[in-house]
Amino acid sequence: MTPERYQQIDQLTDAALELAVEERAAYLDLECAGDEELRQQVERLLSAHGYEDGFLSANALEAVAQDMAVAHARSLIGRKLGHYQILSLLGAGGMGEVYLAENTVLGRKVALKLLPAQFTRDQDRLLRFKQEARAALSLNHPNIITIYEIGETEEIHFIATEFIDGQTLRQRLAQGRLELFAALDIGAQTAAALGAAHEAGITHRDIKPENLMLRHDGRLKVLDFGSSKLTEPQTHGSSSKKSAMSGVRTAPGIVMGTINYMSPEQARGLEVDARTDIFSLGVVLYETLTGAKPFMGATTADVIVAILDKEPPPLSQSAREAPKELERIVDRALRKDREDRYQTIQGMLSDLKNLKQELEMEA
């Protein structure tokens, strides 16, 4: 076919599409004037119209990734890994997939998280991760998920944890923002968990709604302590030359979204301490109360800029019922300079608790 012919077909198709269906045959009889090949080509194209909307609707990467997701989930369900029988897929995050499994020796249900090979291939990373996970293993707090085992079988590294029957705060937020008391309760329970972790010298680094699990009885459990270590770039002494992007890489691989909870120092790729968790909890509280993330942008870069430089809209703007004191608490957690924030999570926790008590007395 020549480009001229293509154009001819294109123009005839366009013109025919303008016509009512019953008028098209007569029109093409006239225009194609006995050129049967031309007519067939136009008709073929005409019949494709109407189907093209669904065609190529997801881009190539998405389409292939979708296949991968389906294939991968199918390949593991029903399999046995060591003494764990894999029952179903619970979910997935940047740190790998989480399956519901049964410990066949003890006969109990566990959540089995499998670490992606891309992370465990690097021995240094793996070692750092294990150190961190072992520290998390020692944490014993009602608001922190219990880790049962960190192990490896068939070259697959896994973590077996308590299975929590409930939903993540992310899933809960999908139904809308939470009312004041529920939000305060989530803030206080998360702060209590962080308090225990910080005391043990462990920073979470990845507090976000996806990592806060809400059990049906109202108990909140913080997930994924120490896991973010695994995705962190290697630090050889100096960290000063790490850029904003290496900070972004630290966020467990999810394509987009997780950067919204990063502290300014984290987004800049600087060393973080416990105060990064305070900032992230501030972001979570803000979102829980208003239904909107405080730092948004159309691109990763825009979000980073917002985290570093922009003040979020006042809490009271979209959460009218929020008392001034709560606005003050969230503001203080969200200070750009960590020196201006709550210096310890205990400080934030007691403010949240006091406010909750006051409100309960008033009610």
Residues serving a catalytic function are 206
Residues 152-181 interacting with other proteins (rule: CB under 8 A): 156
Q: How far is the CB of 202 from other proteins (least distance, A)?
A: 25
Q: Pick the closer one to other proteins by CB: 146 or 246.
A: 246
Task: Tell me the CA end-to-end span of the chain in Å, nearest whole number.
Answer: 79
Helix (H) or strand (E) holding 248: helix 244-250
Q: How far is the CB of 113 from other proteins (least distance, A)?
A: 12
Q: How far is the CB of 344 from other proteins (least distance, A)?
A: 33
Show the CA angle centred on residue 259, arms to residues 149 and 172, nearest 5°: 70
Contact 101, 113 (CB under 8 A): no
Per CB under 8 A, the list member of 12, 28, 39, 94 interacting with other proteins is 94
Distance of CA 281 to the CA centre of its chain: 15
Per CB under 8 A, the list member of 24, 72, 109, 177 interacting with other proteins is 72
Q: How far is the CB of 339 from other proteins (least distance, A)?
A: 26
Q: Which long-range contacts (CB under 8 A, 24 or more apart) does 31-38 make?
A: 38/5, 38/8, 38/9, 38/12
For position 305 contacting other proteins by CB under 8 A, the verdict is no
Q: How far is the CB of 293 from other proteins (least distance, A)?
A: 11
For position 349 contacting other proteins by CB under 8 A, the verdict is no
Per CB under 8 A, the list member of 38, 87, 126, 254 interacting with other proteins is 254
Q: Pick the closer one to other proteins by CB: 203 or 260.
A: 260
Q: How far is the CB of 201 from other proteins (least distance, A)?
A: 29
Q: Pick the closer one to other proteins by CB: 111 or 345.
A: 111
For position 106 contacting other proteins by CB under 8 A, the verdict is no
Closest CA to 251 of 211, 214, 311, 216: 211
Q: Pick the closer one to other proteins by CB: 91 or 323.
A: 91
Q: Which long-range contacts (CB under 8 A, 24 or more apart) does 138-142 make?
A: 138/200, 139/196, 139/197, 139/200, 139/202, 139/225, 140/196, 141/192, 141/193, 141/196, 141/197, 142/219
Position 241, amino acid = K
How far is Cα 85 from Cα 101, in angstroms, rounded to an integer? 5
At 16, give phi and psi (nearest 5°): -65, -35
Residues 2-21 interacting with other proteins (rule: CB under 8 A): 2-3, 6-7, 10, 13
Q: Which two tokens stand for residue 148?
A: 């049962």
Residues 26-65 interacting with other proteins (rule: CB under 8 A): 44-45, 47-49, 51-53, 55-56, 58-65
Per CB under 8 A, the list member of 80, 256, 313, 340 interacting with other proteins is 256
How far is Cα 277 from Cα 292, in angstroms, rounded to an integer? 19
Per CB under 8 A, the list member of 116, 187, 195, 312 interacting with other proteins is 116
**Binding-residue total with other proteins (CB under 8 A):** 66
Distance of CA 339 to the CA centre of its chain: 28
Q: Pick the closer one to other proteins by CB: 96 or 282.
A: 96
How far is Cα 144 from Cα 222, in angstroms, rounded to an integer? 5
Applying CB under 8 A, the residues found at the interface with other proteins are 1-3, 6-7, 10, 13, 44-45, 47-49, 51-53, 55-56, 58-76, 89, 91-94, 96-97, 114, 116-118, 121-122, 156, 233, 243-246, 248-249, 253-257, 298-301
